[in-house]
Amino acid sequence: MRIILLQLYVLICFQAAVSDQLTDPGSNVTINCDLEENEVYWILLKTPDPPTVILRSTSNPTAPFYSNKTLRKKYSLQFNHNLVINNVTTDELGVYYCMNTDSPPKLSNSTRLHFTESTQLTEHYNQTKGECIDQNQTQWQIIIIISGLMNGLLLIVVIGLVKVFVVGNRRSAEESQLNTDLQQMRVIEEHQDQLQYAEVDFSKLRRNFRSSQVNSTYAALKPAKS
């Protein structure tokens, strides 16, 4: 509840004097606290977000109380409650306040931390360049996907044509063989129709054979004339 009240008080006093402090990305920055208090709060204001309580100093400046454990890597304290920000990034840019912990609340002069103009231009250029790269990558990905689909479709068509060609040749060969067989069968049938059959009476041949044989035997036994 107390933190919420502090946030509301900071919002009300936001119109107080603000001094600018320039820095570069990755630098370490020290922000002074001009309050002569035993304990103070350090508060960060980043519009349109509500104020964030970073830490509360104690009698031991090396052991402050952090509102979030993840803030230990970024923020630390020096003597006289001076706040140290390590490896500054865009997440740490904003307006910093030093505030006492007793009543009535008192705020120090605020400090607005931001990057130098050249750094901002470089970041804007890098951001624009990154967006262009992302767009180009997206376009290339779309082109690659479409090309893959077209190649796949072309491969399917080629395989289909090859199958049709092979099956067509096979059917043509079968039909040709069938026609050849039919022609051969027709030739055989016509040849069989042309064959002539003769009827032979073997009984007459047997009789003639016997009579001729008897006459021959009789002639052999008959004595010769003198």
pLDDT tens-digit readout, 58-71? 877 778 999 998 99
Sheet of 83-85, strands arranged across: 29-31, 83-85, 75-77
> Residue 104 falls within a domain, yes or no?
yes
Cis peptide before 61 (omega within 30 of 0): no
Q: How far is CA 82 from CA 97, 140, 191, 204, in A?
A: 11, 51, 123, 151
Residue 41 tokens read as 């709060």
Residue 55 has pLDDT above 80, yes or no: yes
Lowest mean pLDDT among 102-116, 124-138, 177-191: 124-138
Q: Where is pLDDT greater, at 117 or 108?
A: 108
pLDDT at 16: 56
Q: Minimum mean pLDDT among 42-46, 153-157, 220-224: which range?
A: 220-224
| Closest among 152, 39, 180 to 99, alpha carbons compared | 39
Per-residue confidence (pLDDT) for residue 105, from 0 to 100: 81
Residue 186 counted as domain residue: no
Does pLDDT of 213 surpass 70?
no
Q: Is residue 211 part of a domain?
A: no
Q: Average the pLDDT over 8-29 and give the result.
A: 75
Contact status, residue 74 vs residue 87, Cβ threshold 8 Å: yes
Place of tokens 């120090």: 108
Q: Considering the domain boundaries, does residue 147 fall inside one?
A: no
Assigned token pair, 195: 């064959």
Please state the pTM of the whole predicted model.
0.49
**CB–CB of 59/76 below 8 Å?**
no
Q: 4-8, 87-91, 165-169, 188-192 — which is least confidently predicted? A: 4-8
Q: Residue 202 burial by CB count (10 A; 0-12/13-18/19+): exposed, middle or buried?
A: exposed
- Flag whether 167 is in a domain: no
Number of domains in the chain: 1
Q: Between 93 and 220, whose confidence is greater?
A: 93
Q: Is the pLDDT of residue 11 over 90?
A: no
Residue 135 lies in a domain: no
pLDDT at residue number 125: 55
d(CA 6, CA 67): 13
Domain contains 179: no
111 has pLDDT over 60: yes
Q: Which residue has the tokens 């027709």?
A: 186
Average pLDDT over residues 119-128: 58
In a domain, 101, yes or no: yes
Find the domain containing 93 and state its range.
2-115
pLDDT at 215 (0 to 100): 55
CATH number of the structural domain spanning residue 100: 2.60.40.10
Return d(Cα 126, Cα 217) in angstroms, integer. Answer: 138
B/e letters for 111-135, b = 16+ CB within 10 Å, e = fewer, are: bebbbeeeeeeeeeeeeeeeeeeee
**Section 139-163 average pLDDT:** 86
Q: What is the pLDDT of residue 139?
A: 80
